[in-house]
Structure 1
Amino acid sequence: MLKRRQILKGAAISSLAIGTPMIARAQAQHDWKLVTSVPKGLPGPGVSAQRWADRITQMTDGEIKVTLYGVGELVPPFGTQEAVESGTAQAYHGSGSWFSGRDIAHAFFTGVPFGLTFDEMHAWMYYGGGQELLNEFTNPRGLQIFIGGGSGMQTFGWFKNEIKGLSDLQGLNFRAAGLGGQVLSKLGMNAVSIPPSDIFSALQSGTLDGAEWVGPANDLAFGFQNVAKYMYTPTFVDVYGGIEFGVNLAAWEALSDAQRTIVEAASEAEANRSSADTLHANLQAFERFKADDSLTIAELPADIWDALRAASKEVMDDVAATSDFHGRLTEAYYAYAEQCSGYKARYDAAFTAERQPYFG
């Protein structure tokens, strides 16, 4: 009997020892707050942020639990990146253009004048050295950032009055962010950066004469067609229109190799999924705009395009001269864009031009 009790006691101790690592693993769960500058559920970026959070939570079986906080719920609209750097939140979802006031290099990973489209951007980031440049720029600030998808070619802007030429832009109060805002300022516009949630009311009240946001789907969701009747497309700057996921570097390094692989995979999947989602939504929204007889949908006049190219080169020369890193970043980015441009002129643009007559 004594021997049996000793055996049972030893088994209980062994069981406790075996169970201890399991308890430790349960206590090592990572609770992440994900902050964004857009409303929850907003078509495109709002849906994308929630999907990223849900997928990481599900794929890690809750080992990384990601909870989404919409615009203003936890931090100010444009304070998301700083909140992650400080550790107030563990991750953010937002446009690099919104953070370009902190450092203009952020804009390269969202959209710069006459830059990379979404498929070109993904190729540059994954295979052309873009991610390495992003890491060089942001890792020292305590951030690990991944691209999260692009809107594709955006709308240049919505205006209350017709734009017939360059002179019609003079003195207009226009919502624009990042490098695009700097270029438009050179054209005589008053570029104003305000949170997305404030754009409609500013247009409605007359505080703004015009605004850019994203593309047809998001513009429709915001109701711009109800307060501005002139829609000009395409843009010159947000041709990728990227969104990114930024993770606190300490929180990132606290993950296991397997968990980091899951976050990377989820980010890459979301970059593809959100880009496809936005294109599909834009196709449908644009059909609705075309059917609205009260709207004028037009391209920019030639003299504006000439002015945009000239002003963009001035702005980008200034950016390149900011520091050695900005110079290398500018050179690398536009070298890749030039290569893409030559390729697509021969392939994509030529095919698109020949495809259109197929439909009559």
Structure 2
Amino acid sequence: MERRKFLKGAALGTAATTLAAPAIAQERKEMVIVSTWPRDFPGLGISAQRLSDNITSLSDGRIQTQYFAAGERVGAFDSFDEVASGNSQAYIGADYYWTGKHPAWAYFTSVPFGMTTPEWNAWIKYAGGQELWDELAGEFGLKNIACGSTGTQAGGWFNKRIESRDDLQGLKMRIPGLGGQVMTKLGASTVSLPGGQIYENLVSGSIEATEWVGPYNDFFMKFYEAAQYYYTGGMHEPGGGLALGMNASWWGTLTDWEKEVITAASYMELAASHEEAAALNGVYLQRLIDEHGVQVEAFNDDIWDAFGEASAEVFEETRAHSELATRIDDGFQAKLREIGGFMAQFETTFVNQRNRVLDLG
């Protein structure tokens, strides 16, 4: 008897699902996503494509994404205007690309001497960062969510050793965001190029140095063909947060459930991209050394001090831009000291001692 009731209920459930399907189909939303990365780009590009696929998958098809890599619908650096205008519904990229529109966009990717990925995630999700991001994005008709992270990025690729601040004088380097402004203050000539244009400019000599991401991503860029000196962790991107920027009006048409699906997919990729980089960076760093003779270097303390002095000037100029820039910097710096201070006492203490005891370098 109980078994018959169960089977009858199951059949009714199946019928209900079948009857509901046409209604669900009518509610489908189209989501055109443009990206700042080339198609099938190891690391960043693959991450963006994975996020696009996951939004459709997690929504059970109710949100139908259509993904365009850089140059397929608009140029990489045209993504912001494409979405703000409503021509496309979303972009995936690094928000420090938009500092020409407002310098505070940098805080929602990474800033010099800023937050590592765990610190930035904590600030964005639980310590007021998202609210400040919403305020900034809202001024441009956008709604942005964290959707990826590279972890601490490399200091960059150089065609000569950087042993003093004098070595930065006149150096032609690709480096965007506030980090680029720091290098400019130290005498470098900086440009901001999309990822797909860096290699050709480095090989041709139009630039002499570039930062990109880390060993996993950088291995496939073949920068070692023109620059053999690869510097470990740089001042400019301790975290490297990535954004899903959506047209705010389109976001407003979504149901709460649809918004939660997009947020969940974004946060899933935020974790996945960081973990993937952590798993593969060491592997590809060794391959760069063994297979291509790359020389791994580290900036000395004098250069780090120069970075620090220039960064202080850049932050003051950023704050002077507007009241909102000041509030974003205030919020960021306060939480950096609160969250970072705790991390230094606990996680950093442990990691340093573990590395010493185990001789991890």
CA deviation string 1:213-261 (max 9, x = no partner):
1111111110112221111121102111111101111221111111111
Q: 2:317 maps to what in 1?
A: 318
C-alpha distance in structure 1 between counterparts of 2:57 and 2:149, whole Å: 24
Please name the residue that 1:345 is paired with: 344
Partner of residue 8, structure 1: none
Shift in Å, 1:350: 1.6
Identity of aligned residues (%): 36
Q: Return the letter of the residue paired with 2:216.
A: A
Q: Which residue in the other structure is 1:307 paired with?
A: 306
Distance 2:293 2:268 in 1: 39
TM-score for the superposition, normalised by structure 1 = 0.91
Q: Compute the displacement of 1:357 (Å).
A: 3.5
| 1:240 is aligned to 2:264 | no
Which residue of 1 is the match for residue 43 of structure 2? 44
| Structure (1 or 2) with the larger CA radius of gyration | 1
Which amino acid in the other structure matches residue 116 of structure 2? T
Counterpart in the other structure of 2:159? 160
Deviation at 1:24, TM superposition (A): 5.4
Cα pair 1:118 1:149 within 8 Å, conserved: no
CA distance in 1, matches of 2:56, 2:328: 34
Check whether the contact 1:43–1:221 (CA below 8 A) recurs between aligned residues: yes
Per the alignment, do residues 237 and 24 of structure 1 end up closer, same or farther by CA in structure 2, a change over 3 Å counting?
same
* Alpha-carbon distance in structure 2 between the residues aligned to 1:102 and 1:141: 9
Q: Give the 5 Å matches for 1:1-360.
A: 23=22, 25-292=24-291, 294-360=293-359
Q: What is the one-letter code of the residue matched to 1:183? A: V
Tell me the distance in 2 between the aligned counterparts of 1:84 and 1:242: 19
Assess if the C-alpha contact under 8 Å between 1:45 and 1:243 holds in 2: no
One-letter amino acid matched to 1:214: V
Q: Distance between the aligned counterparts of 2:98 and 2:195, measured in 1?
A: 14
The whole-number CA distance in structure 1 between the counterparts of 2:57 and 2:68 is 18
Deviation at residue 212 of structure 1 after TM alignment: 0.5
One-letter identity of the residue aligned with 1:173: K
1:57 Cα offset (Å): 0.6
2:139 alignment partner, SS class: helix
TM-score (norm 2): 0.91
Q: Which residue of 1 aligns with 2:15?
A: none
One-letter code aligned to 2:318 = V
Greater mean alpha carbon deviation, residues 25-34 or residues 153-162: 25-34
Cα-Cα RMSD: 1.7
Letter in 1 for 2:63: I
Aligned with 1:322: secondary structure? coil
Structure 1 residue 289: deviation in Å?
Answer: 2.6
2:7 alignment counterpart: none
Distance in 1 separating the partners of 2:170 and 2:109: 27
Instruction: Report how far residue 340 of structure 1 moved.
Output: 2.7
Q: What amino acid sits opposite 2:266 in the alignment?
A: S
Letter matched to residue 244 of structure 1:
A
Note if contact 2:216-2:285 (Cα within 8 Å) is conserved in structure 1. yes
1:286 CA displacement: 1.5
Aligned residue identity for 1:283: G
- Report the alpha carbon displacement of residue 292 of structure 1 after superposing the two structures with TM: 4.7
Q: Which residue number corresponds to residue 11 of structure 1?
A: none
Change (3 A) 1:162 1:61: same
Question: Size of the alignment, in residue pairs?
Answer: 342
Q: d(CA) in 2 for partners of 1:354 and 1:221?
A: 34
In 1, Cα distance between equivalents of 2:250 and 2:209: 40
When structure 1 is superposed on structure 2, of 135-144 and 282-291 the one drifting more is: 282-291
Show CA shifts across 1:190-223 (max 9, x none): 0111111111111101111100111111111101
- Whether the 8 Å CA contact 2:103–2:318 is kept in 1: the answer is yes
Shift of residue 185, structure 1, vs aligned partner: 0.3
Task: Give 1:41's aligned amino acid.
Answer: D
Rounded to whole Å, the distance in 1 between the matches of 2:182 and 2:139 is: 29
What is the CA deviation profile of residues 21-73 of structure 1, one whole-angstrom value per residue up to 9, with x for unaligned ones? 86554233211111001112212211111111111111222111011101100
Q: Amino acid of the residue matched to residue 40 of structure 2?
A: G
List per-residue Cα deviations over 1:304-335 (Å, max 9, x = no partner): 11111001001101111211111111011011
What is the distance in 1 between the residues matched to 2:344 and 2:119? 13
Q: Structure 1: which 5+ runs fail to align?
A: 1-18
**Residues 34 and 92, structure 2, Cα contact 8 Å, conserved in 1:** yes
Distance 2:307 2:217 in 1: 24
Q: Deviations over 1:149-198 (max 9, x none)?
A: 21111111101112221111100100010101111000000011111111
Q: Aligned residue for 2:9? A: none
Q: Is the CA contact 2:38–2:195 (under 8 Å) kept in the aligned structure 1?
A: no
Are 2:47 and 2:273, in contact at CA under 8 Å, matched by a contact in 1?
yes
The letter of the residue matching 2:201 is A
